[in-house]
Structure 1
Amino acid sequence: MLYQPVEASFFRKPTLELARALLGMLLVKETPTGIASGWIVETEAYIGPGDRAAHSFGHRRTPRTEVMFGPPGYAYTYAMHTHCLVNVVSGEAGCPEAVLIRAVEPSVGVESMLERRGKDKKLKELTNGPGKLTKAMGITMADYGTLLCEQPLYIAEGRAAGTIAAGPRIGIENSGEAKAYPWRFWVEGNPFVSR
């Protein structure tokens, strides 16, 4: 194993705190073609039942959201349009909350990422969005429910994040007052932040 996954206790933080703590950490996916990893540079927090932008708003419990009702530290993947997006389940069991990983800075496996995303892509465009990073890294719907401190998909120790900025989340225009919550966090000045 190239990296050491974090302990399960890493995920036991309030959701907004976890969204910040994930910045600078390594997201790692082991695939048959090798390891792909990237430093997390952008996240968004979704605080379940009271957050109109969350899939679990109002305690909505469906087969899709089921993993969010369990303990923290599991992968919540879902399809949006043609993309798979990956979230880290947060909050206590029964409190369905999650942190979307919006962007990573590639670390290992760049050649494989280019194979998956297209050789014509600029490095900066490889993983600067939630659907781009999953495709580049080989993260799929099959990763739903994966414990993120075990192979093949996990979070590992990374590097200091630097200056962290916060602002409204992206792409949730129809979520009432929730669209203004400053629950998107990113590493200031990092070129891989989505926008």
Structure 2
Amino acid sequence: MRISYERGALTEETAPAEPFALFADWFADAVDAGLPDPNAMVLATASAEGRPRARTVLLKGFKEDGFRFFTNHTSRKGRDLAENPWASLLFPWHPLQRQVIVMGRAETLPPEESAAYFRSRPHGSQIGAWASRQSSVIPGREELENRFSELAIKWPEPDSVPVPDFWGGYLVIPDSVEFWQGRPDRLHDRLRYTRETGSPDPWLRERLAP
């Protein structure tokens, strides 16, 4: 179905010199618009052999140092990042006719930061992190639910749940952030920020053909 792209524009005159301020504005717009899960992002990784994989995860914070998410380190994405730390993030804010693509290197967050976030999660989610051996093959859902029930008995509320040693956060440090805004006649706006190491201006801003 053909879509009429008439919701906005992205120009060099209005875009800031660095990408994080623009991302913060667009993220706030996605929240204010009531988009479901505005922090949902597609995380793409690749194995050491270069086999790509993509899945949806949740953004759990962003600052000028990068974008944060948390997961099981032994999951498929965790194993990919251990072999090949380069990753891409895609924010598909389609109702706003916008998307953002982040490319960069993923590093594990310090244990204390991962622990602080883990303790902020609901008790059931903490139990779930222990119960699920993420990405491993299991015979059926019953095994997962039984494991959860056993751990819920072991660590009942309001008891604290220890942070799993196989679980933690990642920081994606961008070297490229591209903003896409739909425009009429498929003449979309695309502005890409590329990190310029050693330059007095740390970000190069360029317009790409749609």
TM superposition score normalised by structure 1? 0.30
More helix by share: 2
Between structure 1 and structure 2, the one with the greater Rg is: 2
